[in-house]
């Protein structure tokens, strides 16, 4: 009799759960952050639990830490300093993860290349002539994560000229922070996207995986999808040289800088889409892979238990793609 009663209670709980699912709504919040970058948040809940003002407040505080465009931001103050500086929990976390990925990519992910990015005209100011070797060599003296140490809550800079710029992973880290805030509200079905970097959890309003599009690498303004991904509880970040480049004297220069040479990276990679548990990690690896060639990127990707990837690359003038085996059940390639 007791066994029957337990079974009935179990069935009743299941019925109540599925009836309640009908009362779930999808809420959507959108806005801008980091200047002109769009964000789009969706979550599934019985009621509206999150206000736009809450998210905007979190993102404003984020910018106060990491924006190099704000003169009195935490990172701007550190960049003007030499020696030890006490840093926030968020700054320390981002620095530590960046340092780890810097080591795992043999130095190809390096947030100290900011002065080189600016010198090559990919920062606030454009250029009409390319930098000289002497100018690059002068900057390279102060580039390198080995010149900045984080220990016991303090950043220690060997040189005042060393400059930290987390802009390549800021969107990914902000996605993770917003995702954590949403989960703190006991919401476990959500979609968080900032400037194209995405993290999803649970299911959408139709009880299916969230569906994302990966942009085709193009050098014009047209936006075509290269692939569709049905993503389960993962983050996605995409980097591509097609997004930022220019011509000088009939030569094409890409915005990804090789931190070992100080020059724009010349690689056969056109686009790197990386999937991981956090958007920060996905964003950092996607950035690093665009400074490497396809074979180097593939080797690192396949040696990791926490990364999946979709690469678009050139081989003998032909555009090709690579998909991690574990990603294949979730991705549909747009065949033309």
Least confident of 114-118, 152-156, 264-268: 264-268
Structure tokens at 90: 């968020």
Q: How confident is the model at residue 19 (pLDDT cuts 50, 70, 90)?
A: very low
The chain-wide mean pLDDT, for the chain, equals: 87
Per-residue pLDDT reduced to its tens digit, 75-97 = 999 999 999 999 999 999 999 99
pLDDT of residue 199: 98
Per-residue pLDDT reduced to its tens digit, 102-138 = 999 999 999 999 888 888 777 666 777 888 999 999 9
- Listed in sequence order, the residues at least 6 apart from 336 whose beta carbon sits closer than 8 Å to its beta carbon are none
**Maximum separation of any 2 CA atoms in the chain, in Å:** 87
Q: Over pLDDT 90: what percentage of the chain?
A: 67
Q: How confident is the model at residue 30 (pLDDT cuts 50, 70, 90)?
A: very high
Contact 24, 205 (CB under 8 A): yes
Helix residue ranges per DSSP H, the chain: 2-21, 52-66, 74-79, 89-104, 114-119, 133-140, 167-184, 279-289, 294-303
For domain 25-333, give the fold: T-fold (3.10.520)
Q: Calculate mean pLDDT across residues 51-57.
A: 97
Domain map (residue ranges) of the chain = 25-333
pLDDT of residue 16: 46
Per-residue pLDDT reduced to its tens digit, 206-246 = 999 999 988 877 555 666 778 999 988 999 999 886 555 43
Q: How many CA atoms lie within 13 A of 219 on its CB side?
A: 8
């Amino acid at each position: 009799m007791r066994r029957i009663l337990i079974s009935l209670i179990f069935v009743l709980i299941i019925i109540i759960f599925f009836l309640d699912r009908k009362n779930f709504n999808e809420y959507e919040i959108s806005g801008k952050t980091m200047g002109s970058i769009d964000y789009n948040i969706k979550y599934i809940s019985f009621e509206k639990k999150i206000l736009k003002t809450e998210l905007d407040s979190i993102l404003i505080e984020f910018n106060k830490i990491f924006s190099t465009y704000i003169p009195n931001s935490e990172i701007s103050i550190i960049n003007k300093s030499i020696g030890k500086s006490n840093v926030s929990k968020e700054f320390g976390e981002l620095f530590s993860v960046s340092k780890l990925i810097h080591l795992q990519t043999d130095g190809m992910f390096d947030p100290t290349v900011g002065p080189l990015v600016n010198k090559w005209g990919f920062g606030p100011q454009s250029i009409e002539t390319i930098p000289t070797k002497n100018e690059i060599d002068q900057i390279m003296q102060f580039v390198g994560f080995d010149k900045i140490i984080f220990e016991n809550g303090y950043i220690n800079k060997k040189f005042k000229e060393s400059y930290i710029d987390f802009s390549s992973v800021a969107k990914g880290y902000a996605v993770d922070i917003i995702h954590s805030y949403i989960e703190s509200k006991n919401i476990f079905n959500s979609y968080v996207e900032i400037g194209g970097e995405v993290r999803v959890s649970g299911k959408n309003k139709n009880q299916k995986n969230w569906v994302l599009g990966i942009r085709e690498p193009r050098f014009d303004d047209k936006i075509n999808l290269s692939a569709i991904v049905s993503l389960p509880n993962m983050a996605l970040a995409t980097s591509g040289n097609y997004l930022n480049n220019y011509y000088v004297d009939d030569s094409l220069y890409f915005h990804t800088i090789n931190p070992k040479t100080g020059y724009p990276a010349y690689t056969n990679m056109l686009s790197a889409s990386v999937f991981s548990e956090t958007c920060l990690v996905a964003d950092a690896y996607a950035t690093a892979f665009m400074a490497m060639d396809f074979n180097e990127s593939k080797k690192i990707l396949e040696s990791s238990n926490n990364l999946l990837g979709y690469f678009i690359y050139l081989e003998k003038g032909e555009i090709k793609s690579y998909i991690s085996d574990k990603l294949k059940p979730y991705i549909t390639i747009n065949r033309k």
